[in-house]
Amino acid sequence: MDFYNSLGIDASISIFSHIFFIGITFYALQAFRLEQLFKKGRTLQIQLIYILLSIAIGSSVSNFILDITSWSRQLPYLFT
């Protein structure tokens, strides 16, 4: 039962991490003026680009952070 509980906690942390970093990335992308790269009146496409870039960058950062924490938890096994 402890194994399944650990898997559930890891899944919850991963979901929270992805959502958190996607939100942070979306907030950070607001500083860029991407609308100057698009034609006028293309607000739907601009919003879609913001969302897709946020997902791509945010999930990459989240995966990086989760990998680093996972690897750091495995480092003690190097010295046993």
What would the pLDDT profile of 5-35 be if each residue is shown by its tens digit? 888 999 999 999 999 999 999 999 999 887 7
Q: For residues 76 and 24, what is the distance between their CA atoms, to the nearest angstrom?
A: 32
User: What is the reported pTM?
Assistant: 0.84
State percent of the chain over pLDDT 90: 60
Q: What is the mean pLDDT of residues 42-58?
A: 92
pLDDT band, residue 1 (cuts 50/70/90):
low
**Do residues 50 and 34 lie in contact, with contact meaning Cβ atoms separated by under 8 Å?**
yes
Can you give the pLDDT at residue 13?
A: 95
If pLDDT is split at 50, 70 and 90, which confidence band does 3 have? confident
